[in-house]
Amino acid sequence: MNIEKEIFKQTKINFNKLIKYGFIKDDNIYKYSKNIMNNAFRVDIKINNKGIVKGTIYDLSFKDEYTNFRIEDITGSFTSQVKDEFINILIDIKNKCFIKQLFIYDQTNRIAQLIKDRYDDEPNFEWKKFPGYATFKNSNSKKWYGLIMNLNQSKLKKGENHEVEILNIKLNSSKINNLLKRNGFLPAYHMNKKNWISIILNNTIPDTEIMDLIDESYSYTVTNNINSKNEWIIPANPKYFDIEQAIKEHNIIQWKQSTSIKINDIIYLYVTNPYSSIMYKFKVLKVNIPYKYEDRNLKINKVMEIKLLAKFGKGKLPLDTLKEYGIKAIRGPRYMPISLSNYINKINS
């Protein structure tokens, strides 16, 4: 067992706190030393610029590295005491210089945050036996559209022997066959391999592509009842499209379609800098209209037709107000929280 790796799993380093703790920076390596066991041993901790922690213990009497504490199933009480002192130092450093994260790897944490931003869904840790497993569910239908698991890669591919995190999502079977030809995609682990696929979250597949695939998986959890509706917040950048001029000319416009938006859904357009406010409310009239457009800032494959229902003053629903309802950022289409929807209806009635 790698003691350091186990202790610092699911954490992210705060380098500024290392210096305050007592570390000294030397050529992008942060170093810290402390004597233990009545000054009989010295613990040296080194942390590189990627946050990887490595500790050693030196026997000051014999002037040699002491390694017995790393032996599995230690029986000697003295060696166990040395090991405990070492672990206590690491835990103290973790508690004071590291930030707890939901998952082990950076990409997994980024994807979880992007899902939160887009759908307002948190990961659900449902199994005590598998604390690293988390489901993502449509908050309306309660159906899964994603499952994160941490496991040894040997369970996925022979010859590999290290821990990985994967994301299982549901896709069209023909798309799965094509994706499996690429690195980063594997047959779904412990799920129906015809309809589900596993993505290794090790930065092989870009976040943007993963989120596009999650959109499809999410779409299978949305009710097909045309009389039901969802409410969305979608960003609009006035730098690339003059939405104010567009609605002066027409109250029905076309807009890039993404995620699982369907007919009768409600769209709230959040206009970014310099306004940073929700400024318009639309109703979706048509979806899946073919449309081909691409430049260095935007790619569109399909659009939807939306009808203007209401305008809001430029400072009526600013980001500061949205933050009170749990919305910290709007980077892409995301669900409108019911509490915020109620607030908007109240102030606009």
226: in domain: no
Say if residues 184 and 213 touch (Cβ distance below 8 Å): no
Average pLDDT over residues 297-309: 88
One domain for residues 8 and 95: yes
One domain for residues 179 and 160: yes
Average pLDDT over residues 281-293: 91
- Write down the pLDDT at residue 159: 67
In the chain, the number of structural domains is 3
Q: Is the pLDDT confidence value at 342 over 90? A: no
300: in domain: yes
Amino acid at 298: L
- Write down the pLDDT at residue 261: 84
Q: What angle do CA 134, 140, 146 make, to 5 degrees?
A: 25
C-alpha to C-alpha distances, 63 to 41, 57, 58, 109, 176, nearest whole angstrom: 9, 10, 7, 43, 58
53, 85, 100 — which closes off a domain?
100
53, 70, 100 — which closes off a domain?
100
The token pair at 307 is: 């009808």
β-strand partners of 150: 165
Q: How far apart are CA 283 and CA 228, in angstroms?
A: 13
- H or E, element range at 165: strand 163-170
Q: Is the pLDDT confidence value at 225 over 50? A: no
Rounded to the nearest 10 degrees, the angle between the axes of helix 207-219 and helix 106-119 is 50
Say if residues 183 and 100 touch (Cβ distance below 8 Å): no
285: in domain: yes
Please provide the size of the chain in residues: 349
One domain for residues 68 and 116: no
What is the span of the domain harbouring residue 20? 3-100
225: in domain: no
* Pick from 92, 94, 70: nearest CA to 82: 70
One domain for residues 113 and 85: no
Q: Look at 261 and 182; give whichever has higher pLDDT.
A: 182
One domain for residues 314 and 283: yes
CATH code (residue 77): 3.30.1820
| Strongest mean pLDDT among 21-30, 159-168, 298-307 | 21-30
Say if residues 179 and 163 touch (Cβ distance below 8 Å): no
Say if residues 155 and 147 touch (Cβ distance below 8 Å): no
Q: Is the pLDDT confidence value at 319 over 70? A: yes
CATH code (residue 207): 3.90.1150.30
HSE-up of 41 (CA within 13 Å, CB side)?
22
Binning pLDDT at 50, 70 and 90, where does residue 224 land? Answer: low
First to last CA, the chain: 62
One domain for residues 239 and 323: yes
The token pair at 1 is: 């067992």
Q: Which residue is associated with the tokens 């260095």?
A: 296
Q: Which of 242-246, 286-290, 329-333 has the lowest mean pLDDT?
A: 329-333
Say if residues 334 and 118 touch (Cβ distance below 8 Å): yes
Q: How far apart are CA 136 and CA 118, in angstroms?
A: 12
CATH code (residue 287): 3.10.590.10
155: in domain: yes
100, 128, 148 — which closes off a domain?
100
Amino acid at 173: S
The token pair at 293 is: 């457009």
Q: How far apart are CA 125 and CA 121, in angstroms?
A: 13
* Pick from 200, 264, 196, 272: nearest CA to 232: 264
C-alpha to C-alpha distances, 99 to 13, 46, 117, 177, 231, nearest whole angstrom: 6, 18, 20, 39, 34
Q: Is the pLDDT confidence value at 126 over 70? A: yes
One domain for residues 146 and 238: no
* Pick from 41, 73, 68: nearest CA to 57: 41
The whole-model pTM stands at 0.62
One domain for residues 320 and 236: yes
- H or E, element range at 2: none
